[in-house]
Every structure is written in structure tokens, then in C-alpha cells.
Structure 1
């Protein structure tokens, strides 16, 4: 048994045990299983079938995590990325007015490009050309954007013609349910309870029963068909300016999100020696292939989940941890009725708190260095206030180049940044 695990999953009996790896895998699954409810809730606003989205979310997460287990041999879980799904639904489809088929086509192209960039080792070079302050700012901005979406779904933030947004009716039963869920989940996080987000969703869902907000239709059930969203692409817009912009936006978001997550997880797991990141290319390959497969099955881009830190903290060291995560994603397919009964009011608190997790890295930006901090700030506020992650990336990068160029700090700007700036300006002129 140990020989098989060592050969195919990188299991080393000298620094871990099978029991430890199983517990680590379960810990990670519990902390990221909320995506089974949240991803369908977000993407279904585009008109996609919610039941099909649940099945696709579970399947894609399992497939990508299996690649991480057997090819990268790392103890990390993957699933449709928070931020990417919000950009897919609220920017590409709702704000820009494109169909979800258009967005899936962009995801497919991004995934194929990612595979090519990973195989040719270009992926790391692209990421390293973007200053760390901007990489961090993109994550912070996405965090605020996701939290804003959560507040809207909760009914806490509502439309106002005079001020754009204002406070909703907090005494409405559905809003009160969200507030209860937010407090319960926050307390669980403070108490460091494993699976706090998932437990918070469960408690809020149950609290919705007496209000008539939650409706259960069974416990065990066969997974819904993915037929309505399987291989649904829109080829006639393939060579449009919008497609190029959307693909590039997905590309940048996925690049920064995955690299930042992998680096932090590898450091936490003790894999990094003398600055070397082991099996980085193989780990990148897992989310690149996962994203491509996910587009075919009908979901947004796949990313390595920072929640994998729960498994790493529990002692996960090898691909066996990832294998356990994948098995639980597959088992969840038998409980589709439970996950699909979860109302929006139960997922809204998770969106708000995931936003909190994502903005925590703002402390890594040197706010005393205005040449770094001001472009980062522009990127951060542009994302939620223009309701577009792509806009934040574009204006953050352009402001970085222009501010540093005209303030005598041109040495900070790498040649690739100039090329991207020119490209973005052309795209803005054509848009």
C-alpha cells in the first residue's frame, strides 16, 4: 500500500501517516464545501440551470483535485474560484450584457492558453512582470466586490436613484436571516471551528424553515443532469474586442490568484526550501486543465483554494490529502437535494466573509510608498465601484505605469508592463 501511495501520490511514511492525510483531506473539504452552494447561486443569475451547476461544480472540483493529487502530488483542493465566478456572472453577463455561453467560451480559451503557458514556463514570467502591490490590490478589490455582491443578495444594500445605493429594510425576515447567519458564521470563525463557513450555511438554512424561506425536497438524490450547460459555446463572437478583453481579464485574475495561493500554501506546508517552489509547474497544470474541463462541463475558472491551509495545518503533506478531497466532492453528488435547497440568504453571509478574507492581504501593500500605493488604491476602489474586475485591472496597471513614469521611477516598470499598458489603451479606445 505504502509503495503505491509513494509512487502515485508522493506519500512519505517518514513525515506523515494515512490517518493524518485522511483527516487533512476531510478538513479541507469541510472548509471549501460551501462552493457547492455558492457557485450555483452566483452563476445561476445568468440564466444557467442551478441544478446542472451543482453537478458541474462537484465534478469539476473533483477532476481538478484528482490531477493535483496524482500529477502534482500536492495536498491542495481546487474548485471554481471565488472572484472568477463573480466576474463571470456580474461583469461579463450582467454588466456587459453577454450570454453565459459567451462567458464559457472565454473560459475555454483562457484554459487552453493557460495549458500552453504552463507547459512553456511562460506563466510564472508573466506574473512576475506585474508588481506585487498590484497583484495584491487585485485580490483586495475582488474581496470588496464579492462582499458587495453578498450585501446586495442579502437585501442590506439596495438601489437608490439619488445615492446609487442605500440601506435596505433590515427588519425584513429575509434580511434578518442573513444577519443571523453572518453573526453565527463569524462567531464560528472566531472560535476557529473547522468548516465554519459550511456550518454557517447549514444553520442559516435551517433557520429559514420557520420563515418559509427554505424548502427541502429530500435528502439523498441522484445528481441533476449537466445537459443544459454542457459544451455550450458561442463561437461567432470569438474574434471580437470584448472577447479579447474578457479572456485577458480571466487570465490575469487566475494568474495572480493561483500563484499567490500556491506560494502561501507551500510556505505554510514547509515545502519551500531556499526560495524554491517544488512542483509549481505541475500544480499550475492542475488548475489549467481543470479550467478547460470546467468550461466544457459548464462552470467558471478553476483555482487552488486557500482553504487548503486547513488540511495543511492538520498535517497534509501529499497527494493523498487531495485524493480524499476529490472523493468527498464526488460523494456530495448524492446530496444535491440538500445543497440546492440552500437559499440565497444562507450563502450571502459567506460571500461577505470571503470578501473579508480576501482584503486581509492589504497589509502587504506599502502604503507609505505612494508610487506603489496609489495605483493599488485605484485598482481596489475601481473594481467594486464600477462593478467590474476587468476595469480595476486595467486602471490599476495604467495608473502604475503613468504615475511611476512621470515621477521619475521608470526603473520600476518592466518592459512587459509598457506592452500591457499600450494594449489596454487600445482596447479602451476600441471598446
Structure 2
């Protein structure tokens, strides 16, 4: 839920007596007014808020044909790597894990719609990580942040959020095909549909009431109920796990499975998706950094973010390592703000999160039996939170409204993000030109328009 809008920071508390010794020297605990105990508690709080990703990411990406048990390991290992790197290099209380939204695009757009093998898709994500690393270490970072119009950024984010909601409900059987209306609600006489409906009511209540670990608690409750709810083929919705605990398994089937050759042989088709992943990763990280460092009062007097280059480079490096392990884009999580509210101020919070992800590796048999009816309500909440950026846009201005609405609706109605991005971008260019503001259109947007036109021509020849 890395696109979530951060809540207000907790009220200031008296600084505790910080620990002395090596940890204090490494993380600057005294300087930031914190202690080892507070940092560990903050890390546990952050982990509880984002632990749902261990269940949700494998549930989504396994639909691309990847082994679900290996995906549990890949998800946790990517989170461990990114969080450790963020803690030791950037020294910020930011946890890192596979990104929501990107895993949906990976599975349902790139693999299932476009027919790209998941090995080629992993290579594309890794290549995006390399581009993001170059961007993070150069002055291009500031230029990209300035040049991409807010309407396009918000439109893409809201479209992905809406697509997540639709795919989650469809996977749980709550939305089904209908020959007359194309889609319809599943039968309320179906026990799995009723279980999903219960989850759709329970999960937002838990989140709204600020129940600790609301999403993972919702998933756990629905999974347990699923043991007693009949599903297809006479089986229960939730199957009995082979064990409660087991030694962690290495993601053998996904590790180093990238198909770089496929990526370069289909580069023009992949180009718009490269742009999506690059922008999604960059702006998600930027927004998370701004929100978390602001809540922790860590920004410098001039408003700049401490160790911003290290934080961006950490995200980029993790997005290279993630595909090597077998998962999609890896990014900093806005859920880290829950740890900040619990007192986290340094990278020791991130190291605590990494340690808890390591412990979770021993419970992989539990994560692989979680049914889609249990994850769908959590995904719906993630999608809703990704749409919050719409509140920042003046929708009475057609130059903003039309690209956003087209991006969102076309993405969902055609079940294709690239269609939505293309129409949103081209409509933005057309409206700005019509308003006599051609000179105000950034070169990057012109280039993106050309990319989408070229993409449409190539796709028309293939399909």
C-alpha cells in the first residue's frame, strides 16, 4: 500500500534516553532522540502494517504461472535485502518490499494480456531498476519530478488502483462474466461470494478504526473462516496446510530466471511498460520519502530529504535484486509511517522489519494456502488508497479531468493499462495544444506521445 496518503504525524513526545555504544554511533540514536527499544518497537509496528504483502504478492504473481511457494520466499527475501540496505545505507526508518500495483501490471497486463513469458517480464523489471538507478544517481531525478504533469501521474495511479480492485473482485468470484452486461456480481447463494462480501465490510471497518495490523488481521480472519466454507469441487475455500512451520525454501524456480533476450527482441512493445514502471517507482518513492521524513521531523532546514540519493538508489538496487529472486518492482512502503508514529527515527527500524521478514520465511506453508477470498478485501483497500491523489486535482479543469478520467476508465473497461495511459497522454497533449499552450508541454510528454503512437502501430500489426 505504498501509494497511501500519510496521516498526520503523532504528537511530539519527550525524547527517551538513547542507547550508547556501537548502535548509537552507527545510527545516530542520540542525535535523533530515540533508543534501541523504541526503534525495535517501531520496526515491529511497521512490519505488522505491511506483512500482508507476504500473502498478497505471491497470490497475485502466481497467476503468471510462477510457483507460489517460491514467490513467498522471493517476496520476503526482496523485503529483507531492501530494508537492510535502506537501514544501513540511508539510515532512514523506511521498510522496503515488492510494490502493490506493479505486481498486478506484471501479472495481468504483461504476462496474461500481452503474452510475454514471466521470465521476459522479470528481465524488463530488472532493466527498469537499472534505469532507475542511473536516474537516482544523476540530476535527471529532479527534472523527471518536475516535467511529468500531475494529471498524468495521478491518472495512472488511480487507474492502477481501480484495476487492482476489479482484478481482486474477479479473482474472488465476486465479479463474474455476463453475456448481456459483460460483468455482473457473483451469486449471493455462493458461500465464497458471501465470504468475500463479509470481508469487504470487515476490512474497511478495521482500517477506519485504526486497528493495528488491520489488513493482515483481515486476511487471517477470512482464511480461518475459509476452513469451514465450502468452495468448488466439494473442497473448502481454505485448504489444510502441509505444516505450520518449515525450513525456508530457496526460490529455485524463479531465481535468476530472467530472459534478457526476449526483452530486447520485443523492446518496442515493452517500451511503454518500462516508462510505467520507471514513473511508478520514482514517484512512489518520492511521495513515501516526503511523507515519512516529514512525519518523523527528519527533513533538513531547507526542506530537503536526508540521504535522499541513498534512499532512491536503495529502491533502484532492490528493484534489480527483486527480479533476480523472482518478484516484481521493490519499493519503500508508506506503511513505514506507522513505525514513525511509534517512535522510529533511524535505519534500526528498517533492520527490525528485515529481521521479522526473515522469521516469516519459516511460516511459508501458511502463506501458500491463503485463498483469494481472503486477499481480495485487502486489495480493494489498497486500490481505494491509491485513488486518494484525485483529491489534489482540480477536476473542473478539462485539461486535468479528461486525461485522468480517460486513463482510469479506459484502463478498467479494456482491462489494459497501456490503453489508458496512451489515451490519457494523447488527450493531455491535444488539450494543451488546443488551449494554445503547446510551449508548456514538456519534451518528455511529447516523447511519450510518440512512444504510444509507435506502440499502437506495432500492436496493430501483431494482433
Q: Normalising by structure 1, what TM-score?
A: 0.96
Q: Is the Cα–Cα contact under 8 Å of residues 121 and 281 in structure 1 kept in the other structure?
A: no
Aligned match of 1:222? 247
Aligned match of 1:71? 89
Flag the 1:47–1:309 CA change in 2: closer, same or farther, 3 A: same
1:381 pairs with 2:447: no
Whole-angstrom distance in 1 between the partners of 2:32 and 2:384: 38
Q: Of 413, 427, 440, which aligns to 1:399?
A: 427
**Which string of whole-angstrom CA distances, capped at 9 and with x for unpartnered residues, describes residues 318-358 of structure 1?**
10111111110111001111111211111111111111111
Give the 5 Å matches for 1:264-283.
264-272=291-299, 273-283=301-311
Flag the 1:400–1:3 CA change in 2: closer, same or farther, 3 A: farther
1:417 pairs with 2:435: no
Aligned match of 1:164? 182
Aligned match of 2:274? 247
Q: Is the Cα–Cα contact under 8 Å of residues 154 and 345 in structure 1 kept in the other structure?
A: yes
Flag the 1:172–1:43 CA change in 2: closer, same or farther, 3 A: same
Q: Is the Cα–Cα contact under 8 Å of residues 269 and 458 in structure 2 kept in the other structure?
A: no
Q: Secondary structure at the match of 2:253?
A: helix
Aligned match of 2:351? 323
1:312 pairs with 2:336: no
TM superposition shift of 1:124: 3.3
Give the 5 Å matches for 1:172-251.
172-211=190-229, 212-214=236-238, 215-237=240-262, 238-240=264-266, 241-251=268-278
TM superposition shift of 1:219: 1.3
Q: Of 392, 395, 400, which aligns to 1:372?
A: 400
Q: Is the Cα–Cα contact under 8 Å of residues 175 and 184 in structure 2 kept in the other structure?
A: yes
Q: Secondary structure at the match of 2:176?
A: strand
Q: Secondary structure at the match of 2:97?
A: strand
Q: Is the Cα–Cα contact under 8 Å of residues 217 and 341 in structure 1 kept in the other structure?
A: no
Aligned match of 1:44? 62
Flag the 1:102–1:270 CA change in 2: closer, same or farther, 3 A: same
Give the ranges of 4+ consecutive aligned residues of structure 1 lying more than 6 Å apart after TM superposition.
Answer: none
Q: Secondary structure at the match of 1:79?
A: strand
Whole-angstrom distance in 1 between the partners of 2:71 and 2:372: 15
Aligned match of 1:5? 23
Question: Structure 1 stretches of 5 or more lacking a match?
Answer: none
Question: Structure 2 stretches of 5 or more lacking a match?
Answer: 1-18, 230-235
How many residue pairs end up in the alignment?
431
Q: Secondary structure at the match of 1:229?
A: coil
**Which string of whole-angstrom CA distances, capped at 9 and with x for unpartnered residues, describes residues 278-302 of structure 1?**
2221111111110100111110000
Q: Of 280, 284, 292, which aligns to 1:257?
A: 284
Q: Is the Cα–Cα contact under 8 Å of residues 78 and 305 in structure 1 kept in the other structure?
A: yes
Calculate the aligned-residue CA RMSD, in Å.
1.7
Q: Secondary structure at the match of 1:300?
A: coil
Aligned match of 1:336? 364
Whole-angstrom distance in 2 between the partners of 1:6 and 1:417: 46
TM superposition shift of 1:13: 5.0
Q: Is the Cα–Cα contact under 8 Å of residues 105 and 233 in structure 1 kept in the other structure?
A: yes
Q: Which moved more, 1:404-413 or 1:47-56?
A: 404-413
Whole-angstrom distance in 1 between the partners of 2:404 and 2:302: 29
TM superposition shift of 1:411: 4.5
Which structure shows the bigger proportion of residues in helix conformation? 1
TM superposition shift of 1:276: 1.7
Whole-angstrom distance in 1 between the partners of 2:395 and 2:261: 45
